[in-house]
Amino acid sequence: MRKKIVSAAGALLMAAMMVCSVFAEGTDDLKTIGTREEGAYQIALTNATGRDISAFKIRTNDVLEFSENLMEEGDIFAADETRFFFYKTEDEPELSDEEETEPEEQDEEVSDEEVSDAEEDAADEEQQIGYDLQITFADDQSTAEINAFPFDHIAEGQICAADGVAFLIYTDTETFEEVNTKEFALSILQQAQDAVRQAEEAAAAAAAQPSYSEPSYSAPSYTAPSYTAPSYTAPTYTAPAGGGDDTCIEDGLFW
């Protein structure tokens, strides 16, 4: 029991040290990004990318477009500078009175398989809700994204950039363990590169296929045969030349 108490006290001390490290230079000295309002997350972020940042934009992971720039026009989040980042996430849908009421106990027992399926569905739904942060670098206006920004688990952290990705290093406010999202960012980048490569390979394969032209068909021409009626010449009849008295005798007999 004493071990557990000491462990809990140590965790609280670590959390207090984290907060003290953020506020060491005084809250009045820290500039802000976003709007300070009731219900907004307040996170101390240090720009550890080595480059100045000119824009902060947020989107939920179910939309394509990012928000407007959360930094004021012309403002620069300088390299190695620490600022408070304020952001109020979208409100969760409120439950009706019927949904909030615990269901009555059912006579039929729920199987382990049904419980497992319900837990998986709940986990999938939770994974679908998230926020992506896009930063714009001031020197060349290039952008980088930090996917699944952990609003519920971060009080302070560093925004870093290396190997073509942006990522966070922070201490989880629940587990008090240090989290580095670089590997996750690299996996997202690899998936995007694989998708591009597959699309290019598919396009190349389609281009290599022999082209097929529909054969043209010409209807055969038909010429009706000409018919010439045969000419008919009536035969001429020439009566045989008759003989004189010296060639016949009486009663039609020849001699």
Q: Which residues pair with 82 in a beta bridge?
A: 46
| Domain extent listing, the chain | 27-90+111-199
CB 181 within 8 A of CB 158: no
> Residue 173, class by beta-carbon neighbours within 10 Å (0-12 exposed, 13-18 middle, 19+ buried)?
middle
Alpha-carbon distances, residue 125 vs 3, 35, 121, 130, 166 (angstroms): 37, 28, 6, 10, 26
- What's the confidence (pLDDT) of residue 214? 78
Contacts of 243 (CB under 8 A, 6+ apart): 254
CA atoms within 13 A on the CB side of 113: 0
- What's the confidence (pLDDT) of residue 128? 58
Per-residue pLDDT for the chain (255 aa), expressed as one digit of tens each?
444 444 444 444 444 444 444 444 455 689 999 999 999 999 999 999 999 999 999 999 889 999 999 999 999 999 999 999 999 997 654 445 555 545 455 445 556 666 566 666 555 544 556 999 999 999 999 999 999 999 999 999 999 999 999 999 999 999 999 999 999 999 999 999 999 999 999 999 888 887 777 777 777 777 777 777 777 777 777 776 665 555 555 555 554
Q: Residue holding tokens 């995007």?
A: 192
CA angle 19, 127, 181 (to 5 degrees): 50
Q: Residue holding tokens 């009731």?
A: 38
Residue 19 DSSP SS3: helix
Query: Residue 153 has which token pair?
Result: 């688990």
| Short-list 29, 138, 28, 131, CA closest to 73 | 138
Query: Residue 112 has which token pair?
Result: 């382990």
